[in-house]
């Protein structure tokens, strides 16, 4: 009798353990499935994949190209969820740098000067907005000056990754800006606030840095 009760008790415990194991596995699979459905796995993305996501997530607002008022007071860079493809939020927040430079035409070429760099973290679940820095030059001092802004993932750009122009600054467009890296997500070269110095033909072509790789934003 005692042996029979022991076997029954052992069988009940074994069945209970098996049921708990199945329940745990089922919950685990459900949790994994919920994560896959709820966010986009970006844990193993390359820098190029991060840049591709950022390219569809960045918008430039209130710049001189968008409004009649050339002031940068209301201009901003907005980082939000991607607008095309898989628009789910990212499972792991992405570190993003938003950087500003001024490009000024000189007798020796185009002089690029760092203005500000802002670091943020985003998974695309809400809009992150970076305003343009105060006191950006308007070219009223008689110089041909333009503003360049870029958003990219990861660490700040190294010396060999910094931007330069390949054409006369007065007529350069966004496609005439080059970076020594493929990880630039989005950028914009803004028109001069005071076009008179640029129209006067004072700018010259800036030579490409020696040893740099001429990637542009459309590089696959």
pLDDT (tens digit per residue) in 137-148: 765 566 888 999
94 burial (CB, 10 Å; 0-12 / 13-18 / 19+) is buried
Check if the beta carbon of residue 51 is closer than 8 Å to that of residue 153.
yes
Instruction: Say how far apart CA 116 and CA 35 lie, in whole Å.
Output: 37
Rounded to a whole number of angstroms, the CA Rg of the chain reads 27
The count of other CB atoms within 10 Å of the CB of residue 210 is 6
Q: For the ranges 83-97, 157-171, 205-219, which has the lowest average pLDDT? A: 205-219
**Cβ neighbours of residue 129 under 8 Å, at least 6 residues apart?**
76, 77, 78, 79
Check if the beta carbon of residue 96 is closer than 8 Å to that of residue 82.
no
DSSP letter, residue 90: B
- Token digits for 101? 């430079």
Q: What percent of the chain has pLDDT over 90?
A: 44
Tell me the H-state helices in 43-171. Answer: 47-57
Convert the pLDDT of each residue in 45-70 to its tens digit: 999 999 999 999 999 988 755 555 55
Q: For the ranges 124-138, 164-178, 196-210, which has the lowest average pLDDT? A: 196-210
pLDDT at residue 219 in the model: 40
Q: Which residues pair with 101 in a beta bridge?
A: 114, 148
Helix and strand totals (H; E) in the chain: 3, 9
Phi-psi region of 201 (alpha: psi -120 to 50; beta: other; left: phi over 0): left
């Amino acid at each position: 009798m005692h042996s029979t009760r022991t076997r029954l008790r052992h069988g009940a415990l074994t069945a209970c353990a098996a049921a708990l194991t199945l329940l745990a596995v089922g919950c685990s699979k459900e949790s994994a499935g919920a994560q896959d459905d709820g966010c986009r796995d970006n844990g193993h993305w390359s820098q190029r994949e991060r840049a591709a996501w950022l390219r569809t997530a960045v918008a430039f607002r209130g710049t001189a190209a968008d409004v009649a008022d050339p002031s940068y007071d209301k201009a901003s860079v907005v980082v939000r969820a991607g607008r095309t493809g898989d628009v789910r939020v990212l499972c792991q927040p992405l570190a993003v740098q938003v950087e500003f430079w001024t490009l000024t035409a000189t007798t020796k070429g185009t002089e690029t000067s760092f203005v500000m760099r802002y670091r943020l973290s985003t998974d695309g679940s809400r809009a992150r907005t970076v305003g343009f820095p105060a006191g950006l030059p308007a070219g009223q001092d008689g110089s041909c000056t333009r503003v360049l802004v870029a958003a990219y993932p990861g660490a700040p750009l190294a010396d060999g990754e910094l931007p330069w122009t390949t054409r006369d600054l007065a007529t350069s467009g966004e496609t005439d800006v080059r970076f020594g890296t493929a990880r630039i997500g989005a950028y914009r070269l803004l028109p001069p606030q005071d076009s008179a110095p640029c129209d006067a033909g004072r700018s010259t072509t800036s030579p490409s840095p020696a040893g740099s790789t001429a990637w542009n934003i459309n590089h696959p």
